Amino acid sequence: MNLSINRQVRLKERPSGIPQAEHFEIVETSVPSLNDRQILIRNIFLSVEPAMRGWVSSVANYAEPVPLDGVMRALAVGQVVESRDPEFKAGDYVTGMFGWQEYIVADASTIQRKVNADKLPISTSLGVLGLNGMTAYFGLLEVGQPTSGDTVVVSTAAGAVGSCVGQIAKIKQCRTVGITGGPEKIRLCQEAFQYDHAIDYRSEGLDEKLTTTCPNGIDVYFDNTSGAISDTVLKHLNVGARVVICGTASIDSWEPIPLGPRVERHLIVNRARMQGFLIFDYQDRYAEAVDALTEWVEADLIHYREDILEGIEQAPGAIAGLYRGENLGKRLIKIADI
């Protein structure tokens, strides 16, 4: 192991839409030396998120954009190599915003939490027990506020967030309808994620299918897509419905803002609500979500899938692949052995 070299994936050019491989470059630098109270972490899994499109965009956003020539912002899980902070010791597994790079020298505040590697694989700390699971947990329960017997519709139903939303809704005794694309994901929705109904928006009439699968209307719509799928779903809202706006995967670019059918009449007639959601607002309550999700995964009530690419060379093109829907499960990049 050559500790002196640290490969980093940096933002070379700012994309106007979905980031492609050519917007990044891989650069070799050296690992900085440790100062007092610092920790050297070797990253093992890097995360790939749909939200990364927003992180590299210069358009007004909830976070400062990743600077040009900066290391791509990313969650990662890694192992402490050396620690000068008494809270951490060599061998600890830790997760945090460590970026798309092999090594990071950080202080304790950069570390989100220690990961228990005894029960579940450490990769889960980036998926079902990470930002994705917590997004599902708080987005559905706090914003969607499902109650027993509600009909909950999820777009990108087989995705890392969507699949978790569907299963939490099921735990909360809701009827669940998942919308996804293609026969493989439909099978995943039915077999692994236990949706009551799974609709393939590519091959079936979504409007008619929603009529038959949601005869009493939709109480909660957890939306990761925007676009044509949402336009159709909104026609089926029940009185008092809650729409959780979590992501906009189907929109290639927000400059200029694309047009869609106006939502005001749906909202008035149904006294319904659409509400935007951002996981970072729930930082103080992450532990609660991790505990609940861990319990549900261990009890076999929540299943998850992972899509693991090998090698840091895969990182630059990995976001675009997500938006093409080529992954089945949470996309990770494995860059070191455990």
Residue numbers at the binding site for its own copies (CB under 8 A): 60-62, 223, 226, 230, 245-248, 251, 254, 256-278, 281
Q: Measured on CA atoms in the order 166, 169, 170, 174, is the torsion positive or negative? A: negative
Distance of closest approach, residue 59 Cβ to its own copies, in angstroms: 8
User: Residue 139 or 316: which CB sits closer to its own copies?
Assistant: 139
Could you report how far apart the first and last alpha carbons of the chain are, in Å?
13
User: Residue 254 or 323: which CB sits closer to its own copies?
Assistant: 254
User: Residue 108 or 278: which CB sits closer to its own copies?
Assistant: 278
Tell me the residue type at 1: M
Distance of closest approach, residue 123 Cβ to its own copies, in angstroms: 27
User: Residue 274 or 335: which CB sits closer to its own copies?
Assistant: 274
CB contact at 8 A, 132 and 123: no
Q: Where are the alpha helices (DSSP H) in 180-241?
A: 183-191, 206-213, 227-234
- Tokens standing for 312? 């840091």
33: Cβ–Cβ under 8 A, 6 or more apart, which residues? 105
Separation CA 175–CA 173 (nearest Å) = 7
User: Residue 101 or 135: which CB sits closer to its own copies?
Assistant: 135
Distance of closest approach, residue 50 Cβ to its own copies, in angstroms: 12
Distance of closest approach, residue 54 Cβ to its own copies, in angstroms: 8
Distance of closest approach, residue 272 Cβ to its own copies, in angstroms: 6
User: Residue 205 or 261: which CB sits closer to its own copies?
Assistant: 261
Mapping DSSP to helix (H, G, I), strand (E, B) and coil, where does residue 166 land?
helix
Which residue, 170, 2, 165, is CA-closest to 179?
165
Distance of closest approach, residue 155 Cβ to its own copies, in angstroms: 12
